[in-house]
Each structure stands twice: as structure tokens, then as C-alpha cells.
Amino acid sequence: MDKAARVHDVMARFRTATVKVIMGQDTALEELLTCFLAGGHVLVEGVPGLGKTLLARTLARLVDADFRRIQFTPDLLPSDIVGTNMFNMQTASFALHKGPIFTEILLADEINRTPPKSQAALLEAMEERQVTIDGAKNALPDLFFVVATQNPVEHEGTYPLPETQLDRFMMKIVVDYPPPDAELAIIRSYSRGVDLHDLETLIPAPLLSKEEVMEIRKDLLQVIVRDPIMEYIREIIVETRDMVYAQLGASPRAAVALLKAARALAALRGEAFVTPDEVKEVAKPVLRHRVILKPEALIDGLTPDYFLDTILRSVPVPR
């Protein structure tokens, strides 16, 4: 089996395994897996009860990865996330007590409910895969992947993520209500006594080892990205800096994220090269949280997604 076919096979097996757990969220699952294989981090936004936490737990189960969850609250301290050095009376020395950030898949639940000082504890970890405690650098696992969630409805008692923090996320996934047939399937499952959170029963064994994930990430470099596609990505990024509507446009880091995500999506679909279709499909998840619109544009009802749709319609597609 060639490398492109192997990645495509992974996606097929993931869909088969998750159909009993994640119902009606095919797009969110594909975007989550795209971001994971591309080596980025993801911000998941949706109202309570749509399975945002279950998405992260399912991914950890599928790849046999260590999983930890941090419930972000107003009184959470940076040391509660990264850990601290504590004095050991028996050895008369300090020893590092690692925080929950030392894991492979980290769920930062309701990340916007903690003050900026605690939010910032994730910045170095997400960018450099290391944390500095008392001047000493501590490496995180190569597989380190942050899934952060936030509720789009409640604003009281929340702390909006600053642009620097948002830019650390490769993608922002919006989880919506499932279609009627999927919602009915969820109800029927529970009526039969099936607990969708019992992943050990529903997914008896992982489908992929951590070593295989790292190999697939290397294989993504074999997916060809031709010059016209790279120019297409650049033109999309430039258009987000339209000073008529945008207060802040996408940066070169966003362009790189768009390239990586499009390449990962192409690999998941068994393609040997990136097409404009993959770029278009990942453009909104990659850019919607990086584009800051002017207040007057928001008053007129313009949203980042609508702004990006307009850009994707206007930028010429390479043949």
C-alpha cells in the first residue's frame, strides 16, 4: 500500500469506528483529524451537549494516546496547568511535580473561563512543545495536541482569547446541532442502554499507534503542492487584509497553516496532490478566528465566515 492510500485507509477506518460514537458530526470529525495529522492545535466552539469533549476523548482512544482534561475556571492558576517545583523534605531538594499539560492529547475545556494569565500558560507549550518552569525547559511529547473548547453563547464571566492565543490554534471548528436522523440515532442508542461515552466498549482497541501517527505526519510531505496552489493560498491571505472590513487580517503563519491543513485533508482523501477544493474547504476553519473585523462591519451584520466566503468567490481559482 502506497503512502497516500495508507492515509486514506486510516480515515476510512476512523469513520467506521466512530460511527457508533460520534453521530451527525462528520465534518467536525474530518476537520479535527485534519488538524491532528497536520500537527496543529484546534479550538472547538459549540453550545453545551454537542459532543465537543467526546470528540477529543474519541480521538485519544483511536490513537492510543495519553489523554488529560483541564477544566478552566476563574480561579485556575498557571501552576495548576504546567506544574511546579516542590521541596522534598527527605532528599532536601526540589522536585518537579508535572501538571496536566504533560500529556499527548490535552482537552482545555471552556478555555475562555479562565483569566488571561492562566490562558497564557499554554502559549509556549502550543508553539514550541515545551514549558519553562523556574527557568528550566521541559519538553512535551512529540504528539502533543491541544483541543480547546468554548461556548459561543455565554459571555458573563468569560475572558475572550487574545489574538496571540487564537493564532496558536491551526483551526477553529464550529460544531452545530446534528441533523434529525443523527439526533434520533443518539436517542435510540440510549434507549437501548448504550452509553456513547463508554469508549472502552464501543472502541475495544486503538486503530493507530503513536508511532504510526508520527510516520503519517512525515508522509504528508509527499503530497505535492504545486506553485499555482501556493500562489492561490497567498492571494486568499492577502485578501483577508482588506482594510475596508478587516481590522486585522491573516499573517504568514496563517498561510503556512492553510497549506498544512489543505495537504493533510488531501492525504486523508487519498489524493497525491493538493487541489483548490482542499484549500477552499479548510480556509474557514483555518482563518475564521484569525480575521478580526471592524466594529462597523460587525454592526452591518458581517461575520468572519461570510467575509471569507466572499473572498473565496472573488479570488481566481488556478486551473
User: Where residue 280 sits, what CATH number does that domain have?
Assistant: 1.10.8.80
For residues 143 and 205, membership in a common domain is answered with yes
Q: In residues, how long is the chain?
A: 319
For residues 209 and 265, membership in a common domain is answered with no
Instruction: Give per-residue pLDDT as tens, 53-81.
Output: 888 999 899 888 899 999 998 899 888 99
Taking residues 10-39, what's their average pLDDT?
85
Given 158, 190, 218, the domain boundary residue is 218
Q: What is the pLDDT of residue 119?
A: 87
For residues 180 and 247, membership in a common domain is answered with no
| 46-50, 135-139, 228-232, 306-310, range with greatest mean pLDDT | 228-232
User: Where residue 147 sits, what CATH number does that domain have?
Assistant: 3.40.50.300
- Spatial contact of 265 and 32, defined as CB atoms under 8 Å apart: no
Domain count within the chain:
2
CB within 8 Å of 221: residues ≥ 6 apart: none
Q: What is the pLDDT of residue 4?
A: 62
User: How many angstroms separate the CA atoms of 240 and 171, rounded?
Assistant: 16
Instruction: Give per-residue pLDDT as tens, 211-257.
Output: 888 888 888 888 999 999 999 999 999 999 987 888 888 999 999 99
Binning pLDDT at 50, 70 and 90, where does residue 35 land? Answer: very high
DSSP assignments along 282-301, one per residue: HHHHHHTTT-EE-HHHHHTT
For residues 193 and 251, membership in a common domain is answered with no
- Spatial contact of 246 and 240, defined as CB atoms under 8 Å apart: yes
Tell me, yes or no, if the pTM score tops 0.75: yes
Question: Does residue 188 have a pLDDT over 60?
Answer: yes
For residues 171 and 247, membership in a common domain is answered with no
Question: Does residue 276 have a pLDDT over 90?
Answer: yes
Between these two residues, 16 and 285, which has the higher pLDDT value? 285
The CA–CA distances, whole Å, from 199 to 63, 70, 133, 134 equal 13, 19, 35, 38
Residue type, 285: P
For residues 149 and 13, membership in a common domain is answered with yes
User: How many angstroms separate the CA atoms of 146 and 101, rounded?
Assistant: 9
For residues 207 and 253, membership in a common domain is answered with no
Q: Which domain holds residue 182?
A: 3-218
Binning pLDDT at 50, 70 and 90, where does residue 154 land? Answer: low
Given 183, 218, 253, the domain boundary residue is 218
User: How many angstroms separate the CA atoms of 84 and 82, rounded?
Assistant: 7
For residues 33 and 10, membership in a common domain is answered with yes
User: How many angstroms separate the CA atoms of 285 and 185, rounded?
Assistant: 27
Given 176, 196, 218, the domain boundary residue is 218
For residues 208 and 256, membership in a common domain is answered with no
Binning pLDDT at 50, 70 and 90, where does residue 133 land? Answer: confident
Residue 224 gets which letter from DSSP?
A: B
Q: What is the pLDDT of residue 203?
A: 86
Q: What is the pLDDT of residue 157?
A: 63
Question: Does residue 5 have a pLDDT over 80?
Answer: no
**Percent of the chain residues topping a pLDDT of 90:** 41
Exposed, middle or buried, 134 (CB in 10 Å: 0-12/13-18/19+)?
Answer: exposed
Question: Does residue 164 have a pLDDT over 90?
Answer: no
- Spatial contact of 117 and 156, defined as CB atoms under 8 Å apart: no
Q: What is the pLDDT of residue 34?
A: 93
How many secondary structure helices (H) and strands (E) does the chain include?
15, 11
**Bridge partners, 44 (sequence order):** 149, 173
**Bridge partners, 131 (sequence order):** 138
- For residue 305, give the nearest of 238, 240, 253 by alpha carbon: 240
Grid coordinates standing for 120?
497564557
For residues 72 and 9, membership in a common domain is answered with yes
Strands (E), the chain: 42-45, 67-71, 83-88, 93-98, 105-109, 130-133, 136-139, 145-150, 171-174, 246-248, 292-293
Q: What is the pLDDT of residue 201?
A: 84
For residues 301 and 177, membership in a common domain is answered with no
Beta sheet of 145-150, edge-to-edge order: 67-71, 105-109, 145-150, 42-45, 171-174
For residues 27 and 42, membership in a common domain is answered with yes
User: How many angstroms separate the CA atoms of 55 and 108, rounded?
Assistant: 13
Mean pLDDT of the chain: 88
